[in-house]
Amino acid sequence: MYQAIVFFPLFGALIAGLFGRAIGHRPAELVSTGLLLASAALSCMAFANIMMTGETMSVHVLSFIHSGTMSIDWVLRIDALTCVMLVVVTGVSSLVHIYSIGYMSLDPGRARFFAYLSLFTFMMLMLVTADNFVQLFFGWEGVGLASYLLIGFWYKKPSANAAAMKAFVVNRVGDFGLILGMAAIYFIVGSLQFDEVFASASALADSQFDFLGWTVPTLTTICLLLFMGAMGKSAQFMLHTWLPDAMEGPTPVSALIHAATMVTAGVFLVARCSPLFELSPTALSVIIVVGAITAFFAATVGLVQNDIKRVIAYSTCSQLGYMFVALGVGAYQVAMFLLFLGAGSVIHAMQDEQDMRKMGGLRELVPTSWVMMLVGTLALTGFPLTAGFFSKDAIIEAAFAAHAGPHLFGFTLLVVAALFTSFYSWRLMFMTFYGQPRCSKETLSHVHESPPVMLIPLLVLAVGALGTGYVFSGIFIGDQQEAFWGASVFTSADNHVLHDLHNVPLWVKLAPLVMMLTGFFTAYIMYIRDREMPQRLAEQHDLLYKFLLNKWYFDELYDFVFVRPARWLARVFWRGGDGYVIDGFGPNGIAANVLMVTQRFVVLQSGFVYHYAFVMLIGVAGFVTWFMFGGGQ
């Protein structure tokens, strides 16, 4: 069963990619989608089995690497953490596949598109079922490759190519840290198997090593390097710039990447390595700070964005910050709870890329989409009894209840981010579906509801956003969590955050609700009652508005610090090194002179006998002349 879960998407990718033209687009769509639905059904069975029995296992697939002291086999690690990710990945990917059948119906390259989608899913499954760091890294890089192919799917668009390259390069920055962390683990522990590395965690916590004259703690260094990889893949502050640009891909790609799949790989990595992080308070403190800043930063940017997709992109980034704060305070299960319910963000992402300023009044024209969007907004803002109410509130309460690191810093920024999240979510709703239409009559005449094949996935997600929080809260934050998670997630004896979060003061429990209501009423006043207020505020606070609208100027800063110097250096090596030195002394220098001389002499090789006889006579005449004038004496 477990091999089928992992390899069904690979078979779909191969069939659609290699034989798509031969069998036709529709069979390629149906085969790849059918195999993924089968994988999702089996994943649900695996999840149910874990819930009932708590059984964990290792499934050997094949021998992988046996070189020197390194012995790595391809083994599927099946435990509670894996099964949660299996349900999330296959569930979201299946719904995206179904949605894509309608969305990409007129695209001439849709067989290739479905091949990329299935390849992405396979790589993600390889990542979450890994039993060692090498296998995890294989899936990690495979997801990066597939995301590059998907973001740049419309490769004739320069913006899509630029976005794909940006995502690929920024992720390589984070991956550099992950590689260094893996190398440090191997050279110190002598193994990359999870069980062997985790068993050595206590010894690593007590050891140090010298680096350039500095004595640094071994475990903290390893954890920070691993977290650097997680920052890139999960778009954390400073390495977040690729995520909004990833919207250049088709809308289903945005849904797949921005939902609970690729961007949560970093969350999974930290949760999987909890036996290491739990023994490094410094690393956990860094995670809290970075996660809190990410949640706050992305929420501030989302306040003023006008493109629906970019609002959702920064919303995703902000929610990822919540997850990392939960990881930093040791509430690993709570972080996975928000991840498990994060698929609801696809409800937002399933919209065409449009400027909200040119919309409005669509509630009557697309009522089903309005309902789906409303459900997603309620869940995202933490409306009582929705999925977000159980998960996000638990993270905020855990941040307050924790006793390690800058937890109050994280708590404060998360509460503020909850206010901003509510505001920009309701701003999106009011600008899109309420008021008078702001688009042309011609555009308005083309507005219509999506076909059933596109609405059914949204309906499934809407139901999940409403009900799954109540159904599964017990195994994530309730009294069933210890029995469910077992040894898949490690918490030290001093970590009581999952117990303490239930005993926080009442004002802490009410804070997210107050922020949600405040954000709602503020958005209502600004975009329903007094529609001129946003423009007045933007004019009055012009510098702040432009600062947020330009995303804290990170793209401009990176362009100045990294891109321009890199281009200048490349130009120096191109024109000076390659053009002047190599070409000047090589093809355009010695080689060119040799060619010129040989061309001159080649003229003499005409092939006519009288030419050769004439040259011989000249030579004889010259020789005789030289001899007659005494040259031969």
pLDDT tens digits for 208-219?
A: 888 777 888 999
Among candidate residues 471, 423, 227, 223, the one with its CA nearest the CA of residue 318: 423
Look at residue 632 in the predicted model and tell me its pLDDT: 52
Which residue did the predictor score with more confidence, 327 or 450?
327
* Confidence at 442, pLDDT banded by 50, 70, 90: low
- Cβ pair 433, 370 in contact under 8 A: yes
DSSP string, 196-256: HHHHTHHHHHT-EEEETTEEEEHHHHHHHHHHHHHHHHTT-TTS-THHHHGGGS-HHHHHH
pLDDT in tens, 400-413: 998 777 989 999 99
Task: Give the tokens for residue 444.
Answer: 């308005």
Minimum mean pLDDT range among 22-31, 57-66, 351-360: 351-360
> What is the pTM for the complete model shown?
0.88
Cβ neighbours around 358 below 10 Å, total: 13
Is residue 477 within 8 A of residue 310, CB to CB? The reply is no
Rounded to 5 degrees, φ, ψ at 208 are -140, 165
pLDDT per position as a tens digit, 561-613: 888 998 898 888 887 777 777 777 767 677 777 777 777 777 767 777 877 78
Name the phi and psi angles at 129, rounded to 5: -100, 5
The closest of 315, 343, 323, 178 to 243, measured between CA atoms, is 315
The label of the residue with tokens 């964990």 reads 56
Measured CA to CA, the distance from residue 249 to residue 244 in angstroms comes to: 11
For 478-504, what is the mean pLDDT?
83
Separation in Å, CA 121 to CA 25, 37, 223, 403: 19, 12, 27, 38
Q: Which two tokens stand for residue 332?
A: 């690993």
Residue 348, both tokens: 């937002």
- Residue, of 41 and 573, whose pLDDT is higher: 41
Q: Which two tokens stand for residue 521?
A: 């009423």
CA-wise closest residue to 272 among 164, 376, 198: 198
Q: What is the pLDDT of residues 119-164, one digit of tens each?
A: 999 999 999 999 999 999 999 999 999 999 999 888 888 888 999 9
| Residue in 108, 121, 129 with CA at minimum distance from that of residue 150 | 121
- The H or E element that residue 586 is part of is none
Exposed e or buried b per residue across 235-270, where buried means at least 16 C-beta atoms within 10 angstroms of its C-beta: bbbbbbbbbbbbbbbbbbbbbbbbbbbbbbbbbbbb
- The better pLDDT of the pair 340, 363 is held by 363
User: What confidence tens digit (pLDDT) does each residue in 259-275 have?
Assistant: 657 788 899 999 999 99
Whether the pLDDT of residue 353 is over 70: the answer is no
pLDDT at 427: 92
Contacts 24+ apart (CB under 8 A), 27-33: 28/110, 28/111, 28/114, 28/115, 29/97, 29/100, 29/101, 29/110, 29/111, 29/114, 32/97, 32/114, 32/115, 32/117, 32/118, 33/94, 33/97, 33/98, 33/101, 33/114
Cβ-count burial 171-190 (b if 16+ within 10 Å, e if not): bebbbebbbbbbebbbebbe
Torsions phi, psi of 68, nearest 5? 60, -125
Is-contact 124 265, C-beta < 8 A? yes
Average pLDDT, rounded, for the chain: 85
Question: What pLDDT, in 10s, does the model give residues 254-311?
Answer: 777 766 577 888 999 999 999 999 999 999 999 999 999 999 999 999 999 888 888 8
CA 325 from chain centre, in angstroms, equals 18
Among 556, 554, 575, smallest CA distance to 564 is for 556
Report the C-alpha gap between 607 and 315 in whole angstroms.
80
pLDDT at res. 344: 41
What are 591's two structure tokens?
């080689």
How far is C-alpha 613 from the geometric centre of its chain's CA atoms? 79
Which residues are within 8 A (CB) of 602 and not within 5 positions of it... i.e. 6 or more apart?
none
User: Considering only CA atoms, which of 319, 170, 127, 162 is closest in space to residue 247?
Assistant: 162
Cα separations (Å) of 475 from 90, 451, 531? 20, 36, 45
What are the angstrom distances between the C-alpha of 324 and each of 231, 234, 317, 332, 518?
Answer: 10, 9, 11, 9, 25
Q: Are 7 and 130 in contact (CB under 8 A)?
A: no
- Looking at residue 358, the DSSP 8-state letter turns out to be G
pLDDT for 348 equals: 41
In the chain, the percentage of residues whose pLDDT exceeds 90 is 38
